[in-house]
Structure 1
């Protein structure tokens, strides 16, 4: 496995170097010939031409766990993002956020402090960038559930990825995390609540009880209940204008059920994929975009 990964990494690096060289040569050709009278005469508006962006929002996702940038990095990075037309930065802090109080154990030793969080936002504002905090609230909660204090909230005791959505203590924990994020981001208009890849759902006795008594044995309702409840708190209580969420946990769910849980008002779905070509037939669940079109109004 390691050998295959090494070979793949080497091939990818070679492709990147090759493409970079071609790009440099292309840019060099353009600039080298910028003052050529024949080129200027043939295309007098070429120099001032700027392609119109396809999407009104162009977001860069920064996953800070593992190897977070130093604060000084953003001073150079944000102007570059502005230059290439990026509008927003999705900041997935995880343990780099300076949680406090009963959540203080969630932050790592080199976590950003509140002054750094404010500095990053000021730099973003100066460069016309919107900061969108991302807080995992369903799956990918290892940085929370690995701690003994919160181990009872795991859906599966030996796994730290998925939180139990049927325990009120889970909701209180998530609310506190979101509230602290809001406190240090008082002026941002959007938040992302994650909610992807919660694969271990409906494995716990607490969820079994709810499935039978409340949700008519529907795992879809169990998932939507949690996602919509978290989104409602972020939107209605914390006053975020837009609440984003990864879409894979409800990509196959019928539009009527999405409407029943008010997802059209509460959540903006973020469709994601890793394939080089996500347009291939069958990559996304059949009819997904048609179902979404009955629930959401999309503005690109």
Structure 2
């Protein structure tokens, strides 16, 4: 049985800028692409790429310059021209790593060893959040909707001030969470009365109906329930949404995923996995009460799991997944018609990035296609077992083990064969790296290219390079001078 298409609510693409922030020209191309693929909104998580000013200037990125005020405005202009609403996401409680990592803000952490969670008892922390919100809202003229984050507030209640607060009878960690959110919401509504407020739902999932009702903000906050798994539990998710509805939250949001949720270090997404996630969400949307208004779905594309983790899949290599997921929502299934539309729009023969191939028509809607192709090629090479596990090669294990290396002892004939093989692999990798770096330089800051290579390529190349160097040192000690047959 096919699902009905996604209801009238918005289809919003999440732009996670806390890693691999696109150059502004590429950002404009992506927004136009999203619109043509069927999206009608952007959920923009700026983090340290926002041009914070004054006392908050320390929050700006240092690996590359933050976007300028003019660039932020230009991004909104492009989105508006395409009929897309821009919704900024500003973390206000959890996942504040990009703020609390800075030494002047250390004292605002809930506990010293948790960089992400704000101490809810310090007025200075609330003022910091309010100033962040103020600067972001003021740089978004005519803003209608604001996302205040509030997911994964780790270690809440573990700080000394929280323990003192919780020592009073009847007080709970749930109330501690709700009190802080209530303060943030109250500020927003006082300054911008007509602002729609969204927040992640996970910290409220275990709360009772009565607890939620007593929070004081259920009528003015719209929860965004996230689940990125291909086997999403439809019945449980519907039950959760109905609970929020019963507590007075008539407007809710869903959050799916088109990339950045498979593994913390994934390079190339599985389109099928993400399509299945969206098929489950379609079942949820078809099963909720008629009075419950699903305002939209945010299709998340995490660039890092958090501010301090490695890069996930870059946007170009995930565009086939995004296109397939959007068409799944529009058609109610990933039908042959939906698949044909994706392959035609993107100029690919398959929606799976690993085998997307190409069509003869170069005039396709796929900004960053060359980078996507070069990443797929390099990632495929990095996964070759003979390269990834070169140190476990039979000849290396048998004739150039750590024992041999430590004693500068090796069979010269076999050592030279090992070195020849290693050099060939390195040359092959370097050729692919040069292409990736060149293509990436057009779309991303140099810091992103360097980080991507350091994280994904260097760990594979490093051991091979060391073997070459150690063989050279060893051979020079056991072969007469000028008789070493291998040219370095």
TM-score normalized with structure 1 length: 0.77
Q: CA shift at 1:231, angstroms?
A: 1.9
Q: What is the SS of the residue equivalent to 2:142?
A: coil
Q: Aligned ranges for residues 220-235 of structure 1 at < 5 Å?
A: 220-235=174-189
Residues 100 and 240 from structure 1, CA distance in 2 versus in 1: closer, same or farther, beyond 3 angstroms?
Answer: farther
Q: What is the SS of the residue equivalent to 2:75?
A: helix
1: CA distance between counterparts of 2:121 and 2:96? 16
1:119 equivalent in alignment to 2:74? yes
1: CA distance between counterparts of 2:41 and 2:187? 23
Give a deviation string over 1:274-295, Cα, whole Å, max 9, x none. 211212566x5x9423321212
1:69 equivalent in alignment to 2:26? no
Match of 2:46 in 1: 93
Structure 1 runs (4+) greater than 6 angstroms displaced:
none
The structure in which a higher percent of residues are helix is: 2
Counterpart of 1:80 (choices 28, 33, 40) is 33
1:56 equivalent in alignment to 2:9? yes
Q: How many residues align?
A: 247
Structure 2 stretches lacking a partner, 5+ long = 252-292, 295-488
Give a deviation string over 1:223-265, Cα, whole Å, max 9, x none. 1111122122223323452111000001111122212222322
Q: CA shift at 1:186, angstroms?
A: 2.5
2: CA distance between counterparts of 1:240 and 1:148? 36
Instruction: Please give the root-mean-square deviation of Cα atoms over the aligned residues, in Å.
Output: 1.9
Match of 2:132 in 1: 177
Structure of greater relative contact order (alpha carbons < 8 Å, 6+ residues apart) = 2
Q: What is the SS of the residue equivalent to 1:258?
A: helix
Contact 2:92–2:149 (CA<8 Å) still a contact in 1? Answer: yes
2: CA distance between counterparts of 1:55 and 1:252? 29
1: CA distance between counterparts of 2:28 and 2:228? 29
Q: CA shift at 1:83, angstroms?
A: 1.8
Match of 1:290 in 2: 242
Contact 2:35–2:84 (CA<8 Å) still a contact in 1? Answer: yes
TM-score normalized with structure 2 length: 0.48
Q: What is the SS of the residue equivalent to 1:290?
A: helix
Match of 1:42 in 2: none
